[in-house]
Chains A and B, each alone.
Chain A
Amino acid sequence: MSNQDTKQYNEVTEGYLNMELLRFTTAGSVDDGKSTLIGRLLYDSKAIFQDQMEAVERASKKSGEEEVNLALLTDGLRAEREQGITIDVAYRYFATPKRKFIIADTPGHIQYTRNMVTGASTANVALILIDARKGVIEQTLRHSYIASLLQIPHIIICVNKMDLVDYDQKTYDTIQKQFEAVSSKLDVQDVRFVPISALKGDNVVDRSKKMDWYEGPTLMYLLENIHIGSDNNFNEGRFPVQYVVRPQTKEYHDYRAYAGRVAGGIFKVGDAVVALPSGFESKIKQIVEFENELTQAFPPQSVSLVLEDEIDISRGDLIVKKNSIPKSDQDIDMMVCWFNEKPLQIGGKYAVKHTTSDARCMVKEVVSKVDINTLEKDFEDKSINMNDIARIKIRTTKALHYDSYRNNRITGSLIIIDESTNETIGAGMII
């Protein structure tokens, strides 16, 4: 915590200052109960206001629905309401006394893979819904694969609609086994299971009275207590320089600080650092956060670093700790999710953004394409279209200083941009 958070406040604020931020993503289609679950979480945590609820009631009545359609709370665009589908990522907010939550609510159909990937990119937790009547289906695989590809640290499998299978333990156990067989093929570390009924509220916020056989926590308990303190990388010191602060005033005549957000590791005053690409070495003289000087900085803090020596550093450079130098290479091997109607071109040239650094690249090779419904790799089919996920090799115009995505989601990720339209057309995760 920053130095200035040590004064005394009233009770509401004291509680508020102890809250952590948890970002989770949900993916699902119209009928798997995702909207009902989100509606339930928002409603039970009192994040839905009266005027919002009244608007939803009015809209439900207008479209002739019998029950209040909680999906209308999340579908924000006219086209979404008209078609009754979620098109884009919608962000929702709620808080309990323990945590503040940001939900990235994404559509679950295969044609929206890119939206799921977007929502997953910043999440600590993925909620995956399984209909208890259907068990593990193609969609479950797809969502789990995306969660593993994007390295979401925690996955919660909600076996939903337990009310429709008479709250049967055997059904739940079978589904858990089914999923475990699948997840052994995926790169996931922390998977939890909860049997719920979003519609009836069983094990969502309140413990179910109909499933005595289940001794685990409720979904809300998990969301409030899953340990997210180690989700950031605290090992390898990484500081992408965003902006050089030069006041050029009398008081701060020769002052020069490098502003950025810590992307990995813990930087302390006195630490030996190296600036990349120059390779110049120096030591940290000051860590500045507005009017305070800090003794250390770690992810995800935004600070400025003042170094002992005057060395040439500009935006796009990476300051690293001397004891943990990242990889530097122009040849990058990565997984890509393709976002655009225009297919990926082998030999095509694109712009690349990696941390705060800009470069250009050429696609050298499509290694394999992933069938995200079966998780099989296809080494023959080289056509990469919208929503496809593939392993590719690119060569960049200058060396990128990177970590594998598995080690660091910030220094291991990049986006690909179409130079003629400026659209973001691909997301890359470096292997």
Chain B
Amino acid sequence: MEKYNINHLRELEAESIYVIREVAAQFENPVLLFSGGKDSIVMLHLARKAFWPAKIPFPIMHIDTGHNFEETIQFRDDLVKELGIDLVVKLVQDSIDKGRVAEEKGPNPSRNRAQTTTLLDAIEEEKFDCAMGGGRRDEEKARAKERFFSHRDEFGQWDPKNQRPELWNIFNGRKNVGEHFRVFPISNWTEMDVWQYIYLESIKIPNLYFTHEREVVLRDGAWLAKSPFVSLKEGESWQKKIVRFRTIGDMTCTGAVMSEANKLEDIIDEVAAARETERGGRADDKRSEAAMEDRKKEGYF
């Protein structure tokens, strides 16, 4: 007898494509949030599949902190050209210049929190009624409580204690004027699933994910890359190391890992053996036990 089943990766893929199609059908002006990281790259790949052979029917938006790795921006621009999709870029610097948000003080000013202001302003300006993000429930414990379709009030806030029940595969995207939704199509994927899928589908990713030599400094347990945005504190110095990045965020808060993995197979082996979560290298999550929950309530990604 013929077997009618698909493996778990194809099932996750089918679920995500279903969610992305629901977004295109239920909202008038959705946007896909793109950071240049592997999760948003996978989302974009899934969106291509969802509407093929038609073009992706929504633009992508990058909230640019100005603290990006150069490679990320290059990768983004190449991909946009290749796919022929619209790219909206919103600069955190503009929000700072307009006085909407203040730059953090200190030797290591992070624009992580400031992004939220830029993102919410952009959603309002561009009249986006839904923003898709690459958040995964396995990343962090506040994210574990997130819905696929997450309702945001007119201030863009998340109310975790008052979320809409989400049953079966029926998604309720109804809202009032001025409110919007955040949708997380790859909610059920783990870090390993993402890597296996990139490998399976031969998806292009930035070289930052592979091993290379780079000058880094050890701060609060994370290896930060040398950049104009990170200045040395007393007693610190730049050291040349063989590293790669497990996640890609701002240069001010993304820690590198010591690794010689130069192909996807090696990365997969590394992920399989890892004893630290991928966000373990992220200084932005280490600020308090509920750092992510607090940022999410304000309207963070």
Per the bound structure, the CA–CA distance linking A291 and B55 in Å amounts to: 13
CB–CB B9/A422 < 8 A: no
Q: In the complex, which of the residues B14, B25, B151, B161 contacts A315, with contact meaning CB atoms closer than 8 Å?
A: B25
Per the bound structure, the CA–CA distance linking A372 and B289 in Å amounts to: 38
Per the bound structure, the CA–CA distance linking A415 and B168 in Å amounts to: 9
CB–CB A49/B14 < 8 A: no
CB–CB A302/B17 < 8 A: yes
* Cβ-closest chain B residue relative to A19: B8
Give the distance to chain B from A416, nearest Cβ to Cβ, in Å.
Answer: 10
* Cβ-closest chain A residue relative to B136: A93
CB–CB B170/A413 < 8 A: yes
CB–CB A243/B24 < 8 A: yes
Per the bound structure, the CA–CA distance linking A206 and B211 in Å amounts to: 39
Which residues of the partner chain B approach A81 to less than 8 Å between Cβ atoms? 289
Q: Does A163 contact B (CB under 8 A)?
A: no
Stretch at the interface among B124-132, B230-238, B241-249, B274-282: B274-282
Task: Give the contacts of B119-143 with A (CB-CB under 8 A).
Answer: 137-138, 141-143
Which residues of the partner chain A approach B50 to less than 8 Å between Cβ atoms? 259, 302
Per the bound structure, the CA–CA distance linking A88 and B164 in Å amounts to: 11
Q: In the complex, which of the residues B6, B24, B143 contacts A1, with contact meaning CB atoms closer than 8 Å?
A: B6
* Cβ-closest chain B residue relative to A414: B170
Which residues of the partner chain A approach B157 to less than 8 Å between Cβ atoms? none
CB–CB A16/B9 < 8 A: yes
CB–CB A300/B276 < 8 A: no
Chain A contact residues: helix, strand, loop or mixed: mixed
Task: Give the contacts of A1-28 with B (CB-CB under 8 A).
Answer: 1-2, 4-5, 9-10, 12-13, 16-21
Q: Does A325 contact B (CB under 8 A)?
A: no
Interface residues on B, range: 35 or more
* Cβ-closest chain A residue relative to B272: A12
Number of inter-chain CB pairs below 8 Å: 203
CB–CB B161/A77 < 8 A: yes
Which residues of the partner chain A approach B11 to less than 8 Å between Cβ atoms? 21, 300
CB–CB A302/B4 < 8 A: no
Given contacts A252-B53, A423-B164, contact A415 B172 (CB under 8 A): yes
Q: Does A67 contact B (CB under 8 A)?
A: no
Give the distance to chain A from B257, nearest Cβ to Cβ, in Å.
Answer: 13
CB–CB B200/A17 < 8 A: yes
CB–CB A49/B277 < 8 A: yes
CB–CB B52/A90 < 8 A: no
Q: Does B265 contact A (CB under 8 A)?
A: yes
Task: Give the contacts of B66-121 with A (CB-CB under 8 A).
Answer: none
Task: Give the contacts of B8-62 with A (CB-CB under 8 A).
Answer: 8-15, 17-18, 21-22, 24-25, 48-55
Given contacts A89-B145, A121-B168, A247-B54, contact A13 B196 (CB under 8 A): yes
Per the bound structure, the CA–CA distance linking A20 and B34 in Å amounts to: 30
Give the distance to chain A from B180, nearest Cβ to Cβ, in Å.
Answer: 13
Q: In the complex, which of the residues A18, A49, A246 contacts B276, with contact meaning CB atoms closer than 8 Å?
A: A49
Which residues of the partner chain A approach B193 to less than 8 Å between Cβ atoms? 100
Q: Does A191 contact B (CB under 8 A)?
A: no
Per the bound structure, the CA–CA distance linking A122 and B170 in Å amounts to: 11
Q: In the complex, which of the residues A55, A79, A260, A424 contacts B165, with contact meaning CB atoms closer than 8 Å?
A: A424
Which residues of the partner chain B approach A345 to less than 8 Å between Cβ atoms? none
Task: Give the contacts of B142-160 with A (CB-CB under 8 A).
Answer: 142-145, 151, 160
Task: Give the contacts of B228-275 with A (CB-CB under 8 A).
Answer: 265, 268-269, 272, 274-275
Q: Does A189 contact B (CB under 8 A)?
A: no
Which residues of the partner chain B approach A49 to less than 8 Å between Cβ atoms? 274-277, 280
Interface string of A231-245 (1 = CB under 8 A from B): 010100000001101
Per the bound structure, the CA–CA distance linking A39 and B144 in Å amounts to: 15
Q: Does A427 contact B (CB under 8 A)?
A: yes
Which residues of the partner chain A approach B165 to less than 8 Å between Cβ atoms? 114-115, 117-118, 339, 424, 427
Per the bound structure, the CA–CA distance linking A178 and B277 in Å amounts to: 43
Per the bound structure, the CA–CA distance linking A414 and B293 in Å amounts to: 31
Which of B9, B24, B144, B175 counts the most A-chain CB atoms under 10 A from its CB?
B144
Per the bound structure, the CA–CA distance linking A266 and B165 in Å amounts to: 30
CB–CB B7/A18 < 8 A: yes
CB–CB A300/B199 < 8 A: no
Give the distance to chain B from A284, nearest Cβ to Cβ, in Å.
Answer: 17
Per the bound structure, the CA–CA distance linking A245 and B49 in Å amounts to: 11
Give the distance to chain A from B164, nearest Cβ to Cβ, in Å.
Answer: 5
Q: Does A269 contact B (CB under 8 A)?
A: no
CB–CB B21/A259 < 8 A: yes
Q: Does A397 contact B (CB under 8 A)?
A: no
Given contacts A13-B268, A77-B142, A242-B22, contact A50 B167 (CB under 8 A): no
CB–CB B161/A118 < 8 A: no
Which residues of the partner chain A approach B6 to less than 8 Å between Cβ atoms? 1-2, 300-301
CB–CB A12/B167 < 8 A: no
Which residues of the partner chain A approach B18 to less than 8 Å between Cβ atoms? 242, 261, 302
Which residues of the partner chain B approach A99 to less than 8 Å between Cβ atoms? 8
CB–CB A77/B188 < 8 A: no
* Cβ-closest chain A residue relative to B55: A247
CB–CB A9/B199 < 8 A: yes
Given contacts A5-B10, A88-B163, A414-B170, contact A13 B141 (CB under 8 A): no
Q: In the complex, which of the residues B9, B188, B275 contacts A17, with contact meaning CB atoms closer than 8 Å?
A: B9
Which residues of the partner chain B approach A339 to less than 8 Å between Cβ atoms? 165
Which residues of the partner chain B approach A291 to less than 8 Å between Cβ atoms? 52
Per the bound structure, the CA–CA distance linking A99 and B8 in Å amounts to: 8
Which residues of the partner chain B approach A414 to less than 8 Å between Cβ atoms? 170
Q: Does A229 contact B (CB under 8 A)?
A: yes
CB–CB A21/B12 < 8 A: yes
Task: Give the contacts of B182-213 with A (CB-CB under 8 A).
Answer: 187-188, 190, 192-193, 196, 199-201
Residues of chain A touching chain B, judged by Cβ–Cβ distance below 8 Å, are 1-2, 4-5, 9-10, 12-13, 16-21, 49-52, 55, 59, 73-79, 81, 87-93, 95, 99-100, 102, 114-115, 117-118, 121-122, 229, 232, 234, 242-243, 245-249, 251-252, 255, 259-261, 266, 288-291, 298, 300-302, 315, 339, 351, 353-356, 409-410, 413-415, 417, 422-424, 427
Can you name 22 A-B pairs with beta carbons within 8 Å? A10-B265, A12-B265, A16-B192, A17-B9, A18-B7, A19-B8, A21-B12, A49-B276, A78-B290, A89-B145, A92-B144, A100-B8, A118-B165, A245-B52, A247-B53, A249-B53, A302-B13, A302-B15, A413-B168, A414-B170, A422-B176, A427-B165
Q: A49-B274, A291-B52 are in contact. List 8 more A-B contacts (CB 8 A).
A: A5-B10, A76-B142, A90-B145, A93-B190, A95-B190, A353-B170, A413-B170, A427-B165
Residues of chain B touching chain A, judged by Cβ–Cβ distance below 8 Å, are 3-15, 17-18, 21-22, 24-25, 48-55, 137-138, 141-145, 151, 160-161, 163-170, 172, 174-176, 187-188, 190, 192-193, 196, 199-201, 265, 268-269, 272, 274-277, 280, 289-290, 293
